[in-house]
Structure 1
Amino acid sequence: MSDHSSYDNVPKTEQSPPPQLNTSNSNSSNTFNNVTTNAPATIEKELTPGRCNLQNWLGHTFRVVITDGRVLVGYFNCTDKDANVVLSMCAEYLEEGKDARILGNVMIPGKHIVSIAVDMPKDTAFAHKPKTPSAPEAL
């Protein structure tokens, strides 16, 4: 018996190249999921003012009040089209003035969010305000 395995006689196939991102979209639609995250962007595209604000808030402290009265405070990591929010290093406050319970990473369903506050100066928090349409001219 030889020391060589029976796989030595199997022809090697060429490896296909890794898939490339398609950056040329003729209809300018986004081929990726509509998720905003703090991961570095691989493809720079024109973002809406709301998405620019979301990217501006990434990594900042959020204070989220949910429907049962709890207050969750943590760093904003990401959101999705259903308004679900992910916070890291999150703490839960049941009553004001009481000690917090440390939760870690938390996903808050959008349907349970009552209000959100971001801990940033107001002039930088809304740096990308949507343009309001001008009043229609009288004919």
Structure 2
Amino acid sequence: MSDHNSTDNMPKTEQSSPPQLNTSDSNSVNRSNTVTTNAPATSEKELTPGRCNLQNWLGHPFRVVITDGRVLVGYFNCTDKDANVVLSMCAEYLEEGKDARILGNVMIPGKHIVSIAVDMPKDSTFAHKPNTPSAPEVL
């Protein structure tokens, strides 16, 4: 066995240098609250009314009734083109007035959703108001 390091035989240009630490001021980092998405890039003005509504509902309490009668209540995280819904800090209610079972993060398949209600002030529930005189809160 040799007593030397394997990099001793390499020319100095091929030896890797130790990783450099980033010493920049952490306060100078621009931290904005942006939504990361894989949807085509559009500006705020070009969003469809439906997408505006979905963006406004992010982080708000949702009440979802599913086909087997259970009610799931949690905070809206995301949805997809198949109408699957992801809720965080979700609780499951088997019967009204009974104790809830805490589930955490859940993904509800769109094919099992019967109804969705969002808990927001009525004036800000929809970004784009329908032409009907009163918009229902249940979607």
TM-score (norm 1): 0.67
Listed as ranges, the gaps of 5+ residues in structure 1 are 14-38, 133-139
Three-state SS of the structure 2 residue aligned to 1:128 is coil
**Structure 1: how far apart are the matches of 2:54 and 2:81?**
12
Q: Trace 1:1-139 onto structure 2 (pairs within 5 A).
A: 1-6=2-7, 9=10, 11=14, 40-41=34-35, 45=43, 46-129=46-129
Query: Is the 8 Å Cα contact of residues 61 and 73 (structure 1) preserved in structure 2?
Result: yes
2:72 partner letter = L
Q: Would the alpha carbon gap of residues 72 and 7 (structure 1) be closer, same or farther in structure 2, given more than 3 Å must change?
A: farther
Q: In structure 1, how many angstroms separate the alpha carbons of the residues matched to 2:9 and 2:59?
A: 52
Q: For the structure 1 residues 3 and 60, does the alpha-carbon distance in structure 2 shift closer, same or farther, using more than 3 Å as the test?
A: same
Question: Residue 12 and residue 115 in structure 1: after superposition, are their counterparts in 2 closer, same or farther (change >3 A)?
Answer: farther
1:8 is displaced (CA, Å) by: 5.8
Q: Identity across aligned pairs (percent)?
A: 79
Shift of 1:41: 2.9
Displacement after TM superposition at 1:4 (Å): 2.0
**Number of residues of Structure 1 aligned to a counterpart in Structure 2:** 107
C-alpha root-mean-square deviation of aligned residues, in Å? Answer: 2.7
Classify the secondary structure of the residue corresponding to 2:59. coil
